[in-house]
Amino acid sequence: MKILENVALKELTTFKVGGRARYFCAVKNLGEVAVADAFASKQKWPLFVLGGGSNILIAGAGFSGLVLKMDILGVEFVEKKGDQVEVIVGAGENWDDLARLTVEKNLHGLENLSLIPGSVGAAPVQNIGAYGAEVAEVISFVEVFDRRISKVKILNKKACQFSYRDSVFKKPAGKNFIITRVGFLLKKSKKKMPFKTDYPDVQQWLVREKISEPTIVDIRRAIVEIRTKKLPNLAEVGTAGSFFKNPIITNTQFKKLKNLFPDLPSVVMGENKVKIFLAWILDKICELKGFSVGKVGLHENQPLVVVNFGGATAEEIKSFTKKIAAIVREKTGLVIEREVEYVG
């Protein structure tokens, strides 16, 4: 393992913006994680763990400490009781490669999360979700290196404190954890599995393809085609995917908004919690689909996605998204939260 100086970070992120890391290293095993952490701690430098670079916005000034690129690989399949299989995966593995592999092995649980950019280690941090599924539903454990004690710990699902697009890893208690491996408890797929097909886009795809009893392969194919059609091509533009979270509000708040906007789509999330869809709000209420300022804009097919058309700075993207949040608040009274993490 080499510790490098003054390394450009721009091309290591999907937004294609950002400055340089004062120090940088790529780690391939737990021993290298420990060495890198000891180096940063001795120098009293901040440490940032970089995965696939898909949910971050790095400042133009870069990062003044050590950027640790997570490259721990490996996928292991462990047979469990009944039809369950535990899949143990290195944090540096590509997320969609894992989703594709589990579908190829006929394992149910990750198919709705197909084509989400990023690494496996980032999945529990954000509790990634799409088309009615969240990764927390199938995570069995998260292995971490605890920087406070310089030891490896195994966190069960409860310890991860999962909630909508949130986890312990985004809170002060989890900031000292470096995720090294993740365990997923999946099921061998059978006919008439309870696949999640409630989302209109998925239902429409199945009807169009004349599929009444979808297989796990059908579900992945549907998700991949839908996302490919809706989302920008990362080879052509920079983006971090969905920049904002869908708001979760109280029943009282929802009733007020529903009176004003009768067509507002929603999903009940539990007692006194309703999730409303920000893409619809940005499009139908704020009329912002395709809106742009300079080199930054909202994607023409999915307004939750902020796009760098080329040459935008992190500061310009930050300013643009603040403007979007201000418009939403003015039109609806909602204070929206970002999914993307600011670095530097």
Residue owning tokens 């995720």: 179
CA nearest neighbour of 172 among 161, 157, 184, 163: 161
Token duo for residue 240: 């971090």
Other CB atoms within 10 A of residue 147 CB:
18
In the residue annotation, 339 being an active-site residue is answered as yes
Euclidean distance between CA atoms 32 and 36, whole angstroms: 6
In the residue annotation, 189 being an active-site residue is answered as no
Calculate helix-pair angle for 216-230, 200-208, nearest 10 degrees. Answer: 110
In the residue annotation, 165 being an active-site residue is answered as yes
Other CB atoms within 10 A of residue 75 CB:
15
Annotated catalytic residue, options 54, 119, 167, 242: 242
Euclidean distance between CA atoms 122 and 178, whole angstroms: 10
Sequence-distant (≥ 6) Cβ neighbours of residue 51 within 8 angstroms = 70, 91, 92, 118, 119, 121, 122
Annotated catalytic residue, options 20, 147, 165, 181: 165
Hey, which residues does 156 pair with through a beta bridge?
141
Annotated catalytic residue, options 32, 300, 339, 341: 339
Q: How far is CA 340 from CA 14, 71, 128, 141, 242, in A?
A: 12, 21, 12, 24, 8
Phi, psi dihedrals of residue 89, rounded to the nearest 5°: -130, 135
Euclidean distance between CA atoms 163 and 105, whole angstroms: 29
Q: Which residues are catalytic?
A: 165, 242, 339
